[in-house]
Amino acid sequence: MLLYRGDKYYNVATEPGRFWFDGIRAKSFGKGDPAYIKKAGLLKAIRQHIHHPGKADVSYYDATDFISFSTDQARAMYWVSDKGQLLLTTCSEPYRETRYVFRMDIPDNDLISRGDGIYMYSFVCNQALRKSNVAAWQGIEIPYYTNCPLCQGGLGHQILLVDTVKYLSINRKVESESDALKLATEDSEWLVLPNDPLDHGSRSSSVQRADFWSVETYTVVGEKRDPMYASPMV
């Protein structure tokens, strides 16, 4: 299965410019309520992520645990180019890129079904892929992060994946969930939920650097960034 996600450097909620070291981050990174999905229920949380007409919906969406992907590469390119309005140019110089297309390549046989379009995927991270998030430290080793406690301990990492069209088709109960289904269908949307266990019953908010995902980097005309900063100065 191939999944695609478009994002941009100036998205301060996900800060994709930090992918070099941090991996793919959800909006919940450093904020949000790790117990929200358990309290609100999976259906409500998925609906709020996809369709958020009310203040409470927006509040969760702004700190969502989920990361949106699509099975349609063209749809990812549509979003990363501001709905097709911008012309992207491939960027080969690290820390100069401003647009990103993340690509997950997961063998179907490695997905464990949890029913209703929900799947679990376990993986081992690749610490050798981690690099500095900024140009200032490029080429300098960071010795404290050469080993991963989870992988060394035999647990590895875990993400949950939700085929939102299938899940909402089976579980929708109210009109707002029908609206979410319509939007999910337009985007061929899948949601990725980082699910590494952390202290005090919380979970991780990022997908660690690993061999099953990669990123293509781009720039657009007139859009610049400072390579010394992993996220924009706001």
Tell me the mean pLDDT in the region 78-86.
Answer: 95
Domain residues for the domain of 115 are: 2-220
- What pLDDT is recorded for position 20? 95
In a domain, 226, yes or no: no
Assigned domain for 92 exists: yes
Q: Is the pLDDT of residue 169 over 70?
A: yes
Residue 205 within any structural domain of the chain: yes
How many domains are there within the chain?
1
Over residues 170-194, the pLDDT tens digits come to 998 887 888 999 999 999 999 999 9
Q: pLDDT value at position 173?
A: 84
Q: What is the pTM of this model?
A: 0.93
pLDDT at site 149 = 81
- On average, the pLDDT of the chain sits at 91
Instruction: Give a yes or no: residue 207 inside a domain.
Output: yes
CA dihedral 122, 5, 105, 209 (to 10 degrees): -50
Least confident of 106-115, 134-143, 207-216: 134-143
Would you state the pLDDT for residue 142?
53
pLDDT of res. 144: 47
Whether 227 maps to a domain, the answer reads no
Comparing 7-16, 105-114, 129-138, which segment has the lowest mean pLDDT?
Answer: 129-138
pLDDT-based confidence at residue 216 (cuts at 50, 70, 90): very high
Q: Answer whether residue 230 is part of any domain.
A: no
Q: Which residue has the higher pLDDT, 179 or 144?
A: 179
pLDDT recorded at residue 176: 80
Task: Let me know if residue 234 belongs to a domain.
Answer: no
